Amino acid sequence: MKVLITGGAGFIGSHLCSKFVNTGNEVICIDHLGTGSLNNIEDLGKTGRFKFMQKDVTKDLDDIEKVDLILHFASRASPSDYQTNSFDTLLANSIGTFNLLKKAQKDSARFLFASTSEVYGKAEVIPTPETYYGYVNSFGPRSCYDESKRFGEALCYEFIHKFNIDCRIVRIFNTYGPHMRYNDGRVMTNFIMQALDNEPITIYGDGKQTRSFCFVDDLIEGIYTLATKKELNGEVINIGNPEEVTILELAKKIVKVTNSKSKIIFKDLPMDDPPQRVPDITKAKKLLNWSPKIKLETGLAKMIEWMKE
Ligand code: UDP
């Protein structure tokens, strides 16, 4: 199979490139390198089944050859980064998704859109199933990400129903692992960096807000099955780890595991920061026979080792 992966030099995209190359597929990776890094994909060229093109998904994609599957992962995903680069985020998920859906139509290719748990906003139903419509602020600092992902999903819906394109949507919950940008402002990398440097650990708000963190290897298995299994056209599936932790507990765990001298300090909570986030993964279990295998302790140890390097 020939697979186009957008954002393929980024955190999740680069792991997907490896997965598809290692399972015998031919991969074309495109990335505008706004946040992606060639280091993440440096070994893949040797296989002879991997090609990189520096490209922006919002621009002309006509010179990309015909493919069988498109995975659209080109978007910033860290709140501090997507807010700084809000137009890049808005356009990658709107114009970029439209351009890639048109390519899927032209190539008769399957399409998988990387959506997010942020489409649920400040969810009132926890754990959150795919049927929950969301409680999202359309006019605030997180809107560039939340609403452009929601718009991307709406585009998929129209291409499925008007043009019969085989589209699938993954709603990704908090994920961590190697190839994350150590300075992109997300909680996992911030806390580990701070702990390793014995700097204060910066908790936003009182730290009682929760997240549930999925190690990237688990996530990739779920996405691979969603992308490759037959008869999943039109399915929207949460992929994440339901093991919930407060941000304060996470900080304490990281201080302990790294044997750090860091103190914990509290800063203002950013606007619209969701107080609780946990995926309901019943659908992924049923349709993909998928559930995460890697516990937070195990994943944290791997992540810390990688960040030390
Ligand atoms: N957070 C924090 N300190 C940091 C970075 C983030 O307390 O240095 C909090 C943030 O306010 C949020 C949670 O950790 O409640 C997760 O933030 P992140 O930016 O990783 O992504 P989000 O899950 O909000 O999309």
**182 CA to middle of ligand 1, Å?**
14
Closest atom of ligand 1 to CA, residue 277:
23
Q: What is the pLDDT of residue 238?
A: 99
Residues with active-site annotation: 145
Contacts of 169 (CB under 8 A, 6+ apart): 112, 113, 115, 153, 156, 235, 236, 237
Question: Is any atom of ligand 1 closer than 6 Å to the C-beta of 192?
Answer: no
Q: What is the pLDDT of residue 242?
A: 98
**Domain assignment present for 35:** yes
The answer as to whether 109 is a domain residue is yes
Amino acid 77: pLDDT: 97
- 155 occurs within a structural domain: yes
Distance 309 CA to ligand 1 centre (A): 23
The residue assigned the tokens 């990189």 is: 52
Provide the residue range defining the domain that includes 57: 2-176+214-242+275-293
C-alpha span between 108 and 101 (Å, rounded): 10
In terms of DSSP H, where are the helices of 29-178?
79-84, 86-93, 95-107, 143-163
pLDDT in tens, 213-268: 999 999 999 999 999 999 999 999 999 999 999 999 999 999 999 999 999 999 99
The rounded distance, in Å, linking the Cα atoms of 8 and 252 is: 33
Asked if the structure places residue 53 within a domain, the reply is: yes
Given a contact cutoff of 8 angstroms between Cβ atoms, the answer to whether 169 and 237 are in contact is yes
Residue to substitute in 187, 192, 253, 271 for testing ligand 1 pocket (most ligand atoms within 8 angstroms of CB): 187
* Number of structural domains the chain divides into: 1
Residue 257 lies in a domain: no
Atom of ligand 1 nearest to the CA of 77: 25
Ligand 1 contacts CB of residue 209 (under 6 A): yes
Q: What's the pLDDT score for residue 274? A: 98
Identify whether 145 is part of a domain: yes
* β-strand partners of 76: none
Q: How far apart are the CA of 108 and the centre of ligand 1, in A?
A: 39
pLDDT score for 80: 96
CATH number at residue 121: 3.40.50.720
The answer to whether residue 195 sits within a structural domain is: no
Residue holding tokens 């959150």? Answer: 128
Q: Which amino acid is at 43?
A: D
For residue range 165-196, list pLDDT tens digits in order. 999 999 999 999 999 999 999 999 999 999 99
The confidence score (pLDDT) of residue 217 equals: 98
Please tell me if the CB atom of residue 172 comes closer than 6 angstroms to any atom of ligand 1. no
- 199 Cβ inside 6 Å of ligand 1: no
**Residue 157: band (very low, low, confident or very high) from pLDDT cuts 50, 70, 90:** very high
Please check whether residue 205 lies inside any domain of the structure: no
pLDDT for the residue numbered 14: 98
Confidence of residue 114 (pLDDT cuts 50, 70, 90): very high
